[in-house]
Amino acid sequence: MTNILWLKGGACSGNTMSFLGAEEPNVVELITDFGINILYHPTLALEIGKQVSNLLRDILKGKMEVDIFVFEGSVIQGPSGSGAMNYFADRPMIDWINDIAPIAKYVVAVGDCAAWGGIPAVPPNPTESTGLQFHKDQYGGFLSAEFRSKAGVPVINIPGCPAHPDWMTQILVALATGRVKDIVLDELNRPKTFFTDFVQTGCPNTMSFATRVEGGFGKRGGCLFYEVGCRGPLSRATCNRILWNRHSSKTRANHPCLGCTEPGFPHHDLEKGSVFKTMKYLGFAPLDVPTGSSQLGYYAYSGAQNAPVSAEKALGTLDSSSETP
Ligand code: SF4
Ligand code: SF4
């Protein structure tokens, strides 16, 4: 039996909605086939009020173990670091996190807000939101860079806005079945199995990317990189390989990838003209170039010369060791 405790901070509950749509495995299978026991989940639980604080206090007294502590939403530290903007079960949520994270065998951050602050952390960030262990792409979230769970593992980040449901359930199963050693993390503590390839891998528009054929929002054919801000070549995620609802993805529906699995999301802090629009340098060259390219190199070699690299990235055969995510 693996006990999961799921708490939420500054959350829209999008990751919970996504989680409930998981298919491989689905949430019922987590319980029936993989021995997972959900101690408490704010959306699913029957407990309310005192029952919740009693349950959390019983955990702190050691009456029951937390094997996996899942956190969704930003860690709200305001005002002035008190955490009083996010009270839960009679205490600031930050106090529960402080007490529970070190006694949990594993800690998992689901979604961008829990991983690195996400939308709530966009300046001026009135709630003083941050991620569990990261703030944007740096250590400096709520827990220290040195934090390790009881099993000696840092916070496992499963980013996305929301995270893909199967990324969540498959990591939970790996932890519940003692396969933590199979979860290799990248430098942002994301499981590499889901966050090594780019969203562009598997996108049907890659040939248009290579040949610089512009598409458009909702328009069939063409690539969304040049005008409507697609971040598929800059964002590591399996959205075009493990399809959403086993059916599609943003770019398959000709909607630009917003780069939601990267710690910069929302990119350019939602600056005017930065969403659904390709920001341009000198009015014509994309400001954000594909990961692994320097701006100068990209501008110099884009076009026909860009095709081989683009094709390699699309096929997933590009040597990523030389790239900076
Ligand atoms: S992921 Fe985006 S940039 Fe890449 S080919 Fe598809 S539409 Fe173009
Ligand atoms: S396609 Fe891009 S924006 Fe959409 S879920 Fe995947 S990484 Fe996030």
Q: Are 132 and 80 in contact (CB under 8 A)?
A: no
User: CA-to-CA distance for 38 and 22, rounded, in angstroms?
Assistant: 16
Measure the CA angle with vertex 211, ends 210 and 214; round to 5°: 100
User: CA-to-CA distance for 10 and 114, rounded, in angstroms?
Assistant: 8
pLDDT band with cut points at 50, 70 and 90 for residue 175:
very high
pLDDT band with cut points at 50, 70 and 90 for residue 320:
very low
Helix (H, G, I), strand (E, B) or coil at 76: strand
Q: What is 206-315's CATH number, 4.10.480, 1.10.3720, 3.90.1200, 2.40.160? A: 4.10.480
Ligand 2 geometric centre to CA of 37 (Å): 30
* Average pLDDT of the segment spanning 272-301: 83
pLDDT band with cut points at 50, 70 and 90 for residue 305:
very low
Q: Summarize pLDDT for 74-132 with one digit per residue, the tens.
A: 999 999 999 999 999 999 999 999 999 999 999 999 999 999 999 999 999 999 999 99
Determine the length of the chain.
325
Burial string for 122-134 (b: 16+ CB within 10 Å, else e) reads eeebebbbbbbbb
User: CA-to-CA distance for 221 and 209, rounded, in angstroms?
Assistant: 10
Judge whether residue 324 has pLDDT over 70: no
Domain spans of the chain, in order of start: 2-182, 206-315
Q: What is the pLDDT of residue 321?
A: 43
Helix (H, G, I), strand (E, B) or coil at 48: coil
Give the global pTM. 0.91
pLDDT band with cut points at 50, 70 and 90 for residue 325:
very low
Q: Is residue 117 lining ligand 1, measured as CB closer than 6 Å? A: no
Q: What is the pLDDT of residue 281?
A: 82
Nearest-CA neighbor of 221 among 211, 229, 231?
211
Ligand 2, atom 6: nearest CA belongs to which residue?
A: 239
Within 6 A (CB) of ligand 2 lie 160, 199, 235, 237, 239, 249-250, 257-261
Ligand 1, atom 8: nearest CA belongs to which residue?
A: 223
Ligand 1 geometric centre to CA of 306 (Å): 14
Q: Mean pLDDT over all residues of the chain?
A: 92
* Average pLDDT of the segment spanning 46-51: 95
CATH code: domain 2-182 is 3.40.50.700
User: Do the domains at 2-182 and 206-315 have one common CATH topology?
Assistant: no
User: CA-to-CA distance for 140 and 158, rounded, in angstroms?
Assistant: 17
Q: Summarize pLDDT for 211-251 with one digit per residue, the tens.
A: 999 998 888 889 999 999 999 999 999 999 999 999 999 99
DSSP assignment letter at 218: T
Q: Is residue 205 lining ligand 1, measured as CB closer than 6 Å? A: yes
Which residues, in sequence order, are bridge partners of residue 69?
5, 107
